Structure 1
Amino acid sequence: MRRPILIAVSVAAAGLALSACEKQIKAPFEKGVCFHVATNKDKTLRFNPVERNVPSMEQCAATLEGMRIRFLRMGSPNRSLTGSYQGSFIFVEKQGIYLGQSYDGARFMSLVRTGDGRLAVPGAIRQVPAQ
């Protein structure tokens, strides 16, 4: 009875140990540099500097959003774009802008799109119920 439980616990512990050893992709930390992240054919990431002397992550996100819009106007089928700023990843998506400390890890919402497509802080715009 104890043996199957012990084996199951051992297998689970080995799986957790292997997943902890998996190397996470980190963004470069260059002060004030906003990067566009592109995926190479071999699935590695390439960090292309877009703008230097960027004062904040929000400014970098705005730069990436402008880049995304220009790509869409040129006919690009991609609706999302990934960038990085000072060691953090910026994910510009259809729903808004998300931030993350690693490429494959958790993402946290930073800005949401309003009804007309602009970006705003979540909860900043309140909807008035129809009367």
Structure 2
Amino acid sequence: MKRVLFLLTLATGAVALSACAGGVEAPSEPGVCYAVEPGVDGKPPTFNVVARDQTQIEFCAARLEEMRLRFLNLGGNRREVTGAYQGQFIFIDRAGVWFGKSLEGSRFMALARTGDGRLAVPGAIEQAPVVPGQ
């Protein structure tokens, strides 16, 4: 009985792990920055090279932001861009730049937008203290 229970537990764990591994993985080629185009009709997303020889993920994010702004200046209407760099995904939206390990999973903020729309490291911009009564 214990052996059957053990094998059942082991099989359930294997099924759970295989279900987690089904997501799309970002390319891990060193120094290459990709733009990610969502798949259509259930097809996987397409990874298009934006820049090579990028030494940091922040530089890749800058290239993606540059691409986003160029498309907007040409009359495009896409305000959000997804990219990939060395196994991580990059998400650019109106709030800033986010990094994540998967397309659907959790993300953490890397760069925030300033009041004039530029990107900066969160917390790097000092605000004047608010003095009551002034």
1:12-58 Cα distance to aligned partner (Å, 9 max, x none): xx8xx658614121101000000000013224200001111111101
Correspondence 1:107-122 to 2 at 5 A: 107-122=107-122
In structure 2, the CA distance between the partners of 1:48 and 1:125, relative to structure 1 (3 Å rule), is same
Percent identity between the two aligned chains: 49
Amino acid at match of 1:40: G
Return the alpha-carbon distance in structure 2 between the equivalents of residues 28 and 53 of structure 1.
15
What TM-score, normalized by structure 1, do the two folds share? Answer: 0.82
Question: Could you say what the CA RMSD is over the residues aligned between the two structures, in angstroms?
Answer: 1.7
Paired position in structure 2 for 1:56? 56
Paired position in structure 1 for 2:75? 75
Return the alpha-carbon distance in structure 2 between the equivalents of residues 70 and 115 of structure 1.
20
Correspondence 1:1-131 to 2 at 5 A: 21-22=19-20, 23-43=22-42, 44-130=44-130, 131=134
* Runs of 5+ unmatched residues, structure 1: 1-13
Amino acid at match of 2:76: S
Runs ≥4 residues deviating over 6 A: none
How many residues align? The count is 116
* Runs of 5+ unmatched residues, structure 2: 1-11
